[in-house]
Chain A
Amino acid sequence: MRRKFPQLVCGLIGLLLFVVYFSRHPIASSINETVTREYWQIVFAFALLVGVVSFAKINLQGIERGEDRLYRIISLVGLISMPVLALIWGIGTGSPFMWVFDNVQVPMQSTVFALLAFFVASASLRGFRARSGPAFILLLAAMVALISRSDVGDLMSARFSDFAEWIRSNPSMSARRAILIGIGLGSLTTSLRVLLGLERTWLGKESK
């Protein structure tokens, strides 16, 4: 029963959502909206609570053991202070919540994102080595794409940009679409396996 009931609910809701997707009747739209938005938000809110409790528990245990104590305290202060600031002063422009968001969270996120530039450079150095014929062609295509998108590309002939665009929209797009077809079919069969109850890993599988 512990597995049968969730499986049954999953199958029925899946079938219902499949049917309403192909309908434009107001009742179908309303069911779609209720299940995919409202129910999902309720489920997520409860799950978020579980996540926050887990986060707090792990960090409190870390503080007790003396592991990275300062960082863990900062994490917990951040976790508690943001909802408190939002509850007391709101989240409008000029509120303390927005000040912390704009001056602490956004710069930290930008810093992590900026790391990407360095990682792209180091990964390219390893990836674009002409060790074989296909690797050499890949290197050439990458160089053409890079140059066409930079300021140097603007100074070159229009035919160069056209050639770069041709690479992007023909050989590159063909390979991408082939992968996308495989992903689409894989998603379809995985979803069907879940709805039919053939795939039960998400329930934790059965113990032998």
Chain B
Amino acid sequence: MSLVSAVLISTAWIDPDRLPVLICGLVAIGIVLYTTFWRRGQERARMREIPGLKAVEEAIGRATEMARPILYTPGWGGDIQRPTTIASLNILSHVADKTAQYDCQLVYPTHDPVIMTVAQEVVRESYARAGCEDRFREDDIRYVSSSQFGYAAAVDGLISRLQPASIFLLGTFEAESLILAETGNSVGAIQIAGTDSTIQLSFFIVACDYTLIGEELFAASGYLSGDASILASVRAQDSLKVLIVVFLVLATIWATIAPDSSWWRF
């Protein structure tokens, strides 16, 4: 251990329990920065086809043809600080671009007034970009209730009354996930869902037409926009995944040969 790190730990500036996480975090950040800023210009990143994101166009087109609205909701579990909510807002921006072009109503109920304010700004900008700001209706991006089942009842009510042709359930969902997905299914809407909750994913897979599993939700921004920096950061994710797999294989072999070892358990 170097003198600097010894001094930092002894004066309690660094929590020794979190030191391994700090080291791994810095390595991960280094790889992301290297891939994003150094290598992005050197080679063109290509992303595999994600059916859930490919279906976004289809879902918007369907709603436009049927002259029925699109309902988009980020779930009850997240707030604006959560990366899942940011990822969901990225997809919202793309969806709003298209609904503005096709003059299709986009309804966005949420449980969080901060998310509502940010979503209003995102959708307003999309409509402005499409040159049809007059079509933007602020009231369609609405706060319904902070209570979990109050939110579920309000969104259920909207689905039943508006009969949307397409429903996007993208964000952090908890117990309300299946209530919303099944109600959407009962009105015959095409449903695209994605969440970071592994428990709710199984409900979405059963009840929705397309489900973005895990990292697919976070890769959506690069997939839909084609932005080189974002695609490069998605590539960094893959490099990190390879590192983790190598580590897991090594740790498994090590634990098999020396069952009492514990260096890999941090």
Binding site for B on A (CB under 8 A): 21-25, 28, 40, 43-44, 47-52, 54-55, 57-58, 61, 68, 105, 108-109, 112-113, 115-116, 119-120, 122-124, 126-127, 176, 179-183, 185-194, 196, 198-199, 201-208
Contacts and interface: CB of A to CB of B under 8 A. Distances in A.
A68 B148 CA distance: 23
Contacts of B55: none
8 contacts: A25-B12, A54-B139, A112-B153, A116-B178, A119-B182, A198-B233, A201-B122, A206-B125
B201 A179 contact: yes
Interface in B88-128: 89-90, 93, 112-114, 116-118, 121-122, 124-126, 128
Contacts of A48: 113, 146
Given A25-B13, A203-B121, A123 B237 contact: no
A43 to B, nearest CB: 7
Interface stretch (B15-23, B45-53, B56-64, B258-266): B15-23
A208 B11 CA distance: 51
A187 B218 contact: yes
A122 B150 CA distance: 22
A112 B157 CA distance: 12
Contacts of B138: 54
Contacts, number: 195
A54 B214 CA distance: 33
B198 A181 contact: no
Given A123-B182, A199-B221, A187 B196 contact: yes
A116 B175 contact: yes
Contacts of A182: 213-215, 237, 241
Interface in B16-38: 18-19, 21-22, 25, 28-29, 32-33, 36
Contacts of B161: 68
A180 B198 contact: yes
Contacts of B33: 192, 196
A201 B117 contact: no
B163 interface: no
A21 B26 CA distance: 13
A40 B86 CA distance: 17
B149 A113 contact: yes
B129 interface: yes
Given A109-B149, A179-B214, A55 B179 contact: no
A105 B142 CA distance: 21
B152 interface: yes
Nearest to A45: B113
Given A179-B201, A186-B217, A192-B29, A112 B152 contact: yes
